[in-house]
Structure 1
Amino acid sequence: MTDGKETKKSEASFLKAMKAVFWSFLGIRKKDDYEEDAAKLNPVHVIIAGLIGALLFIATLVMIVKQVVAK
């Protein structure tokens, strides 16, 4: 049987990866936070979070351009 704590821990670590990627996209990370993230976060989660962040960024830009061009 799997423990519910393991599932919550992996979800929390993916959410932490999403948060780390978001702040990295903005470019405002403290060195201490970066070093802590590098030591604790799963690289696979960071890659997936980065891809999701990039897709959201591109989708946002496309929507903005469509709004501007439509006017």
Structure 2
Amino acid sequence: MTDQPARAKASLWRTVRAVAWAMLGVRNGDEYRKDQESLRPLQVVGIGLVALFLIVLLLMGVVSWVV
């Protein structure tokens, strides 16, 4: 048996919010600790890569619209 308590899994929306706030560089200390307890690293990396891809597509669209 393991003595470690079960980690509560974060929802997809909570992961997206945490990644968005991290990209902006603004995070509340209390919320940060809650995220550390519930977020899984693979989830964060996956959402981060998708967000980065969407930002690049958005910037490419804006540049092509302006030019």
| TM-score bracket for this pair, using the shorter chain length | 0.7 to 0.9
* TM-score computed with the length of structure 2 as normaliser: 0.76
Aligned counterpart, 1:42: 40
Superposed CA RMSD: 1.8
TM-score by length of 1: 0.72
1:58 aligned to which of 56, 59, 62: 56
Query: Could you tell me the percent identity over the aligned residues?
Result: 35
CA contact (8 A) 1:13 1:42 kept: no
Structure 2 equivalent of residue 5 of structure 1: none
The one-letter code of the counterpart of 2:41 is P
Q: Deviations over 1:5-48 (max 9, x none)?
A: xxxx96x6222111110111122211111121011111111111
Richer in helix (by share): 1
Structure 1 gaps of 5+ residues are 1-8
Stretches of 4+ moved more than 4 A in 1? Answer: none
Find the counterpart in structure 2 of residue 24 from structure 1: 22
Corresponding residue pairs, total: 60
Instruction: Read off the aligned partner of 1:33 and give its amino acid letter.
Output: E
